[in-house]
Amino acid sequence: MAARKTKNTAAPTVEEIITDAEIDAIAIDDTPIMSIEPEQPMTLQQLMMQVPDSDADVMNHAIADALDERADREAKKNPDNTSIQSTIKKLRKQVGRRATGRLFVAAQRSPDFMNRQLREGAAYNVYAIGKLGDLVAGLVGDETKNAVNRAILASLFKIESAGLSFDMETAKMCVSQNYTPKPDQSDVASRARSHLVRHTMSPSTAPTQASSTVQALETLGIVVKDGGRNPTIKLLDNALTRALRATWGALSAV
């Protein structure tokens, strides 16, 4: 007959005994958890410094070629319009630096817009190109000098801080302190009025001046227009906008 198996009732050895305190110690790991900081987006300056000189130079040549093409087109179309040629000549000086090429490459912008056909017989506004050159100058370390650009930029960031909306009628109010918004489009502009930086140009020039600055900002990818008849103008979140906010947001808060 086989021997009957008996249950092992031997007491656990010292090594096998685990106290409640030891169980708690195992369950609770009090090792400090390393906090992971969210990755900060690169600044415009950092993005520009990553652009090789060769790429910046190629872009500069492309910008110069686009300006030459536009100057030739305007000379044939309006041979007596010295104002347009003066704008293009000034723009050549503003953007004729390697830093401009770096900016265009870093921001993934193309100079092709200067000669783009918007509709039959109409190309990109020459004066918007001039406003764009002034904005670019400010972004690459010079100064944004155009008074309308300055008024609209400062106002955009003041409106952003106030949590209000900004539309084309509001932009026109920035151009002229005497501009009165259209009655059926005045709600947004009226709420924004006390936050605006306003220039002193004639009210009759407000529509074209506001339009050319907003067009330049939109081309650079700083704002986007939303809507049809009186579009809302919204700041986009990118390196160019953050660079402008660092300057104009601080100034507008004073």
Please report, for the domain that includes residue 152, its CATH number: 1.10.10
* 168 and 139 in a common domain: no
Q: Using an 8 Å Cβ cutoff, are 109 and 219 in contact?
A: yes
| 254 pLDDT more than 50 | no
| 19 pLDDT more than 80 | no
Q: What is the mean pLDDT of residues 74-93?
A: 91
* Domain assignment present for 232: yes
* 69 and 137 in a common domain: yes
* Domain assignment present for 18: no
State residue 221's pLDDT score.
96
* 236 and 166 in a common domain: yes
* 164 and 98 in a common domain: no
* 254 and 153 in a common domain: yes
* Domain assignment present for 34: no
* Domain assignment present for 38: no
> Smallest Cα–Cα separation from 44: which of 252, 213, 220, 241?
241
Of 18-27, 165-174, 209-218, minimum mean pLDDT range: 18-27
| 3 pLDDT more than 90 | no
Convert the pLDDT of each residue in 101-114 to its tens digit: 999 999 999 999 99
* Domain assignment present for 119: yes
| 139 pLDDT more than 50 | yes
pLDDT band at 184 (very low <50, low <70, confident <90, very high): confident
* 250 and 161 in a common domain: yes
* 50 and 138 in a common domain: yes
- Give me 89's structure tokens: 């000549």
Radius of gyration of the chain (CA): 31
* 227 and 169 in a common domain: yes
State residue 228's pLDDT score.
85
* 168 and 107 in a common domain: no
Query: What domain count does the chain have?
Result: 2
The last residue of one of the domains, among 96, 123, 143, is 143
Q: Which helix (H) or strand (E) holds 233?
A: strand 232-235
Q: Would you call 199 exposed, middle or buried from its count of C-beta atoms within 10 A (0-12, 13-18, 19+)?
A: buried
Q: What is the mean pLDDT of residues 19-34?
A: 52
* Domain assignment present for 30: no
State residue 186's pLDDT score.
81
* Domain assignment present for 183: yes
The last residue of one of the domains, among 143, 175, 192, is 143
* φ and ψ of 225, to 5 deg: -95, 135
* Domain assignment present for 162: yes
Q: Is 167 helix (H, G, I), strand (E, B) or coil?
A: strand
* 247 and 209 in a common domain: yes
**Domain enclosing residue 167, as ranges:** 146-254
Q: What is the mean pLDDT of residues 193-208?
A: 95
The last residue of one of the domains, among 124, 143, 162, is 143
Phi-psi label, residue 31: left if phi above 0, alpha if psi -120 to 50, beta otherwise: beta
pLDDT band at 93 (very low <50, low <70, confident <90, very high): confident
* 48 and 68 in a common domain: yes
Answer yes or no: pTM beyond 0.85: no
Q: What is the mean pLDDT of residues 40-67?
A: 95
* 155 and 76 in a common domain: no
